[in-house]
Amino acid sequence: MIGRNAYGALLILEDFDAKGVVDLLCILDPITLSYWSDPNCVYTNGLGHWLPENKVLPTFLDDRLYKATRSVLPDLEFTVTEILGIKVPLPLGGTMDPANFQVEDITHYYTSMAPVIRQAMGR
C-alpha cells in the first residue's frame, strides 16, 4: 500500500519488487467494493498522470462527502490512522450520505469489512 484517501480506498502496488515502470498501480475501493487496475496505469504514470487527471475510479478523488461532513462538523479532527468509512457500500444499497459514514481507525475498518469485501469480490 502506498496511499489512501479519506474514505479508506487504498492505492496499491501489485508487485513491490517490480521496477516503477512496470509496477501496476491499483485501487481497492470499499465504497464500490471494487479492485481497479489498468495495464497502462503503472506507478510512474499513475501518480503523475492517471490520478491528477481523475482517470481512475471516480470515488477515489471525490471529496464532496468529506467537505460536507467538515461543514457540518467543523471541529472534526482525524488522526493519521482514521478514515471516514462507509457503513453500507454502494453495491449493497448504501448511499453517499453522511449518515452512511463514520470516523473509524483504518485497521479496524478493514478488519470488520474484510468479509464483506471478500464476498463481494468472490473470494
The DSSP output letter for 42 is B
Highest average pLDDT, of 22-26, 42-46, 73-77, 88-92, comes from 88-92
The span from the CA of 93 to the CA of 89, in Å, is 7
The span from the CA of 31 to the CA of 9, in Å, is 8
> pLDDT for 5-58, tens place per residue?
999 999 998 876 766 567 888 899 999 998 888 888 888 777 777 777 766 666
Cα 5 off chain centre by: 5
* Contacts for 59 with CB less than 8 Å, ≥ 6 apart: 7, 9, 29, 31, 32
